[in-house]
Amino acid sequence: MTLPQFRAISLRRLALGLLGISLARYPKDSGTSSLIAHVQDSRKRKQSNGLRTPSEARYRGIVDATTAFIARGDLDGRFTFLNEAYRRLLGKPFEELLGHSFLDFVHEDDRTDVLAVFRHTLESPLSRVRFDCRMRTPDGSAWVAWDGSAILDGRGVMTEMQAVGHDVTQRRAAEESLRMLLDELRRSEEKLRLLAQHETAIREEERRRLGFDLHDDVCQELVGVAIMVESLRQRLQPLPPAEDADLNRIAGFLNEVVEHLRLLARDLRPMLLPALGLEGALRALVDGMWSDATRVVAEFRPPIPRLGEETELGIYRIAQEALGNAARHAAARTIVVTCGVADHVFHLEVRDDGCGFAVQNRQGSPALGLLGMETRARALGGSFEIWSEPGKGTAIRLHCPFDEHAATA
């Protein structure tokens, strides 16, 4: 090949595979020299493995062996590389995928969010991004969790974007099922709260009616009977000492019954609560429970604000039932009532040093008092706890949220 002929060879031909160049010299007297080039067409070699170097072949073998989805794209979001797992997910050959936009395969409802992620990557190429989106597949769509980053050249300039994804369709389906179950649970809890609220309202109305009946009817009737007994005793005078003493005892018993029923009627409809508020009513309740056998202490921290009418009544009833149980059944020497407000939640604890009981054995037992306290706590939207151990006493705890605006209205 002569030198002019070599120059006529296009650079494109040389790019196909230049193996070597040498200068061939002829005898001096010929006046001729030639440049010899060894050229081999390497297109077939490249097409045989689709890669240019052994390192690229190793890289391709690794990324095609993984089950993760691996993709690279240019700054316009067009695919420059996809591994075999991602190609199978999209259900298209490489030729149809390369050069296409990533967004073409994103679910329509997720494209706005994915575009925002792309913009963030372009603006902050040093940051990594994580996002979930649905990819359109031949069978519908699949949720993929992506971890993306920018590819920078030697000068730190962003040239491409790359992302590694994992199929999280089952996880998202499980999360959606869990969310639906939690929503259903919240609806069920709200139904239970409304049912407990309705039950409590009916019970409270019945207590009010019974309190009025005891005070206005039964007590008045018994007072009338006591007056009649005293009148009879006066008309039958003089009576033998024994009969006169019996009539005096009958009148005394009637007066004690009337006083007991009046106290019961007062407990059935706490008249002090509207006038004194929850703190004043609880202090009066504690003072009334004090006796020679039982010491009852009240601790209020900080001072209790006025709460809503239904909230105050529900808390008062729970404290009343807890104090009654401690005094009647626990044989307690000391009962401590602690109240406090923090972060719009009212906290009540009634603790005694009585005989206690095994809480785990309470399941299925007809403990109507405890059941009533739990029902009232549920109606208030609060939580109710019972702690007790045999020989170590019992603690009843109530945590009740309240609306400050409704309380002060």
Residue 172 lies inside a defined structural domain of this protein: no
- 3-class SS of residue 359: helix
- The whole-angstrom separation of Cα 98 and Cα 380 is 62
Question: Tokens 């993306």 belong to which residue?
Answer: 148
Residue-level pLDDT at 404: 60
Residue 174 lies inside a defined structural domain of this protein: no
Parts of the chain with a pLDDT under 70: 1-56, 58-59, 212, 215-216, 266-269, 361-368, 404-409
408 shares its domain with 284: yes
Question: Tokens 């202090």 belong to which residue?
Answer: 283
Sign of CA dihedral 323, 327, 332, 333: positive
Residue-level pLDDT at 269: 67
Q: Which token pair is 12?
A: 């494109």
Residue 175 lies inside a defined structural domain of this protein: no
Q: What is the DSSP string of 206-275?
A: HHHHHHHHIIIIIHHHHHHHHHHHHHHHHHT-S--HHHHHHHHHHHHHHHHHHHHHHHHHHHHS-THHHH
396 shares its domain with 317: yes
283 shares its domain with 247: no
Nearest to 397 by CA among 385, 383, 388, 389: 385
212 shares its domain with 243: yes
Residue 177 lies inside a defined structural domain of this protein: no
Which residues, 6+ apart, have CB-to-CB distance to 20 below 8 Å? 37, 38
359 shares its domain with 227: no
For the chain, the domain total comes to 4
Residue-level pLDDT at 63: 77
204 shares its domain with 140: no
CATH number of the domain to which 347 belongs = 3.30.565.10
Residue 180 lies inside a defined structural domain of this protein: no
Residue-level pLDDT at 406: 52
Residue-level pLDDT at 361: 66
Residue 57 lies inside a defined structural domain of this protein: yes
240 shares its domain with 312: no
pLDDT digits (tens, 9 = 90+) for 255-296: 888 887 777 776 666 777 888 888 888 988 888 888 888 899
358 shares its domain with 234: no
User: Regarding beta strands 383-389 and 129-137, do their DSSP bridges make them parallel or antiparallel, or are they unpaired?
Assistant: unpaired
- What is the domain range of residue 128? 51-167
Q: Which amino acid is at 5?
A: Q
60 shares its domain with 121: yes
284 shares its domain with 405: yes
103 shares its domain with 150: yes
Residue-level pLDDT at 45: 38
Residue 189 lies inside a defined structural domain of this protein: no
Contact of 398 with 384, CB cutoff 8 Å:
yes
Residue 188 lies inside a defined structural domain of this protein: no
- The whole-angstrom separation of Cα 185 and Cα 337 is 33
24 shares its domain with 74: no
- The whole-angstrom separation of Cα 108 and Cα 143 is 13
